[in-house]
Structures are given as structure tokens and as C-alpha cells.
Structure 1
Amino acid sequence: MRRRAFLAAAGALSVGGLSASIANSRLAVQTPPDPAYTILSGTKHETEVFVRNRGDGPTALVVGGMHGDEKSGYRAATAITRWQVSGGTLVVLPKANQAAIRANRREGENGDLNRKFPTGETPETELARAIWGVVSRHDPDVLLDLHRSIGIYGYHESSVGQVIWPTDAGRASDHAKRTAERLNDAVVPWSMPLHEFRLGGEITGSRPMLVHKFAGDLGRPGYIFETTAFLLDLGTRVRWTKRAAEELLSHHGIERRRNS
């Protein structure tokens, strides 16, 4: 089940005190939303969603903090909440997994949050359903999910650092490739060739992850961005993550205003 048909089927989800029905979602798209709102209010998972609406144009959703110990992802996303954009709508969920962030653990009480989004099915936990409800509410044209790995892809076993993984929709692979090249040229020092960014394989919806579900159910461009903790301090990881987000958003028509 793909695109609008799936959103209609998911319309009964509850997003904290918000209705995630598609009818209400469409109203939210037509009427500029509030600068911020809260999902799962009054629970341990309560967290804010920030919205920058600058009129006509595409909508992008940026997510950080799916894993609570990946500080560069949620710190970069938190910084992005303060960005001004020249057009379109930028939606940011900077701290998706608040309980895991507070505990500084990858997983929360229900295990790995980013394994609770089966393609073609309802997300498996209350938090995952609320996050998918944000997708339903804003109906984004592109999704960025910001992460951090321990090692470097291809050099350390089971590590996926320094990779941009695109969905198999539109020109996502080309945009990811160009962004990796730009990062390697602009931010990765020549003395750190192992840290050059790579293009990952296309995401098709084959795994129960947020961006996989976005690809499988909606068929739209999305990206998982992974930097590495290997020989990189937190500040550097945050800077590289923000730069990657800026480049990818630009490819999709969301331009950051440089005074923000």
C-alpha cells in the first residue's frame, strides 16, 4: 500500500492530544501550523515538534534522537529547529526518543525504536505511532533521519558511519551522492581519508525502520545520515550533520537563510 492510500488507512492514529486523521492533517497543511506542538503530552515520551512555515513550497521533516545515545543526531536536529528557511515548510522532531535520551541509551523500554515501523502496517508502539502521526499530519515531501555510528562502514564490523542512505524514490540517490561529494570537499580534512562520506544502498522498505516505512508506504525521497564517533569529537559530528542536512534540504527546495 503506497502514498496517499496508506495515509488514509492510518488516519485513526492518536498523536498525544492531537487527532492524526487525514482530514485534520489536510487542514493542518492548508492552515499554517503553530511554531511548535507536543506529542504524547503528559507521558515519559512527551516531546516537541517545531515548524517553520514560509508559504508555498515543499515540506521537509527532520528527525533526531531515535536512538538516545546518538547525541550528534539530536543536537544537530535541535540546532535545525532554529533555522529560518526562504520558502516551504521545515518540520523538526529533534528528540524523538526522550526516555532513551535521558538515560543516554540506544534503546528505550520497548527496545529499539527504529525497529518499530513495519512497512504496510501500523507502527508497533505508542511512541512509534505518534512519530508516524507527525508524518501523517505534515505529509512531507522528504524525510531526513539523523544518526551516529560507532565505526566506519566497510572498515569496522557492523558499523555504518560516514554514509548517506537514500530511498529508491525520485533523485534521492543522486542527491545523496552529490551531498557526500560536497561534504568530502568542504568539511572532511584531506588527512582523514577514512572519514570520507559514501553513498549507501537504496532504501526500499524492506526493514521496519522509519525511513524504510517512508519509502515503502509513501514512495518518497528520504535519507538516513550516519556520521561516526571514531576519531571524531561531538562538536565535529554535529557540524558535519548540520551541513549534510543543509545540503540535502537544499536539493529538495528548502533553502536555509544564512543568517540563521
Structure 2
Amino acid sequence: MRRRAFLARSGALAGGCAATSVVGGGRSEGKPSSYTILAGTKYATEVFVRKAGDGPTALVVGGMHGDEPSGYRAASDVAKWRIDGGTLVVLPKANRVAIRKSRREGANGDLNRQFPVGENPETTLARAIWNVVSRHDPDVVFDLHSSIGIYGYHQSSVGQMIWPTDVGDASEYAKRTAERLNDDAVPWYMPFHAYRRGDGLEGSSPMLMHKVAGDLEKPGYIVETTKFLLDFDTRVRWTKRATADLLSRHGIERRENR
């Protein structure tokens, strides 16, 4: 058995995903289906699934940090998108406890430091999120965030970056998407807000996207949009533009509402 297949299965066996029955339709013409992880607990949060026939599967996660509202707002909007093919799975508000308090960390610290590579996730919530990954076996994974500052200009800030996993074409796709955003979204008079591609993630940190890279060997992206000199709506809009462009490069096209 391949290493990534074993780890995906072990994640599913670890428990922590108390899901309700799936409700709603799975067709792109109607509402997405949904289920709840950790139902009946303070961590309970919904997962939305939009199916539109054959094609790749993408998983979009938002709200890992509760003080990054543009990330989970963008993911909440993505959950409503219609697609022309494939499956779009969205966990918009991963860390409900942190979101309610508008804090980076939840009840057990930083959620995005609880996904050690090669091991089971460390907490109940992290295991439930990893079970979502295992359940849907996505071809590509997204983690939507925001940052106080801009990478390279503000200390310890990672804004205006797209960090790909070091798998397949992810690095090249991140580069092309950054260029597209800079051409079509970021105004010419805001050169410091130009998006850039980060170094490939290889599994060296206990973060969700590192685990996707190290354990599953799948393409994935952390999208970081800065709060610096940007209003909330712009941050959400740019994050969604990045997500839509990357989804398209992986074979999932957003279908505009008609």
C-alpha cells in the first residue's frame, strides 16, 4: 500500500468526525449537499459538497484562524459557487471556537500547528478536519488565510503570497495565478501588493498544507491576502479570484450564475 493511502486511511480510523446525514442535492443546478463534523460539540461546523458530474475533486478550507475573517468569508462564498464539472468540497469555518472569539487560536492553541506529517493529527478538531480530507480524497486542497502585513516588507507577515505544495505543477500554477492577479486585480499603483509565489511546501511543518504535501503527495495552496491598506471586501474578492483561477488550472471551472 502506498504511504499516502495508508496515512489517509489511518486518519479516517482516528475518529473525531461525527457527521450528520448528507442533506440537499448534489447537482450543480441546486444547492450543495452538506454535513456537519463534530455535531453536538462546540466545534460543530458544516462541510458543503457541490457535485457536477465526472471530474477532479477540490477541497477548500477557511477559518483555520479565527482572526482572519476574509479567509473564511471567501470560503463561505466559494461554498455557494456552481461548477461545470467535478466536485467542490468546502469547509468554510474550520475553527468555530476561534471565529466566535475573533482570535487566531482556539481552545487548544493554533489549529494550523496540529497536523504533524506522518502521524495522526493532535486534537479532536484537527482529526475531524483530516477525516474530511480522507473522506473526499481531493485532487487539490486550498487553505485560505489573511495576514497583517506583506511578506518581505513586514516582519513575520506572509501576505500577498501563494504557497504551493512541492507536488506536480502546483508551483508553476501558483506563479501563473499570481501573475494573473497582478495583471487583472491588483492596481498598478499598489506595487507592494503584488502577489508572489512562495517556496514549495514539502512537509517540514505540522500544518495542514504540509501534511497534504508530505502524507498525500497532493497539490495544494495556502492563499494569503494582506490586511495592510486593503478593505475587507477587496481582501475577500482577491482571495476568491486566486481560488477560482487555481481551481480552473486544476480542471474545475466556476459557472457564473445565470
Q: Provide the TM-score with structure 1 as the length reference.
A: 0.93
Structure 1 ranges of 4+ moved more than 6 A: none
| 2:4 corresponds to | 3
Superposition deviation, residue 18 in structure 1: 3.9
Q: Considering only aligned residues, what root-mean-square deviation do their CA atoms show, in Å?
A: 1.6
The counterpart of 1:203, out of the listed 195, 201, 204, is: 201
| 2:72 corresponds to | 74
What are the Cα deviations for residues 165-217 of structure 1, in whole angstroms up to 9, with x where unaligned? 00011100000000000000000000000000001000000000000000000
| 1:232 corresponds to | 230
Structure 2 distance, partners of 1:144, 1:229, is 19
Structure 2 distance, partners of 1:180, 1:128, is 29
State the SS of the aligned residue for 1:78: helix
The counterpart of 1:106, out of the listed 104, 107, 112, is: 104
Q: 1:15, 1:134 within 8 Å by CA — same for their partners in 2? A: no
Q: 2:145, 2:225 within 8 Å by CA — same for their partners in 1? A: yes
Structure 2 distance, partners of 1:235, 1:11, is 37
Q: Which region of structure 1 is more displaced relative to structure 2, 5-14 or 58-67? A: 5-14
Residue 149 of structure 2 aligns to which amino acid in structure 1?
A: G
Residue 150 of structure 1 aligns to which amino acid in structure 2?
A: I
Alignment gaps of 5+ in structure 1:
20-27
The counterpart of 1:93, out of the listed 91, 94, 103, is: 91
Structure 1 distance, partners of 2:11, 2:45, is 21
Structure 1 distance, partners of 2:168, 2:53, is 23
Superposition deviation, residue 62 in structure 1: 0.2
Q: Provide the TM-score with structure 2 as the length reference.
A: 0.93
Residue 146 of structure 1 aligns to which amino acid in structure 2?
A: L
Superposition deviation, residue 15 in structure 1: 4.1
Superposition deviation, residue 8 in structure 1: 2.4
Structure 1 distance, partners of 2:85, 2:19, is 26
The percentage of counterpart residues that share the same residue type is: 67
The counterpart of 1:184, out of the listed 182, 185, 188, is: 182
| 1:23 corresponds to | none
Residue 194 of structure 2 aligns to which amino acid in structure 1?
A: E
Superposition deviation, residue 11 in structure 1: 3.1
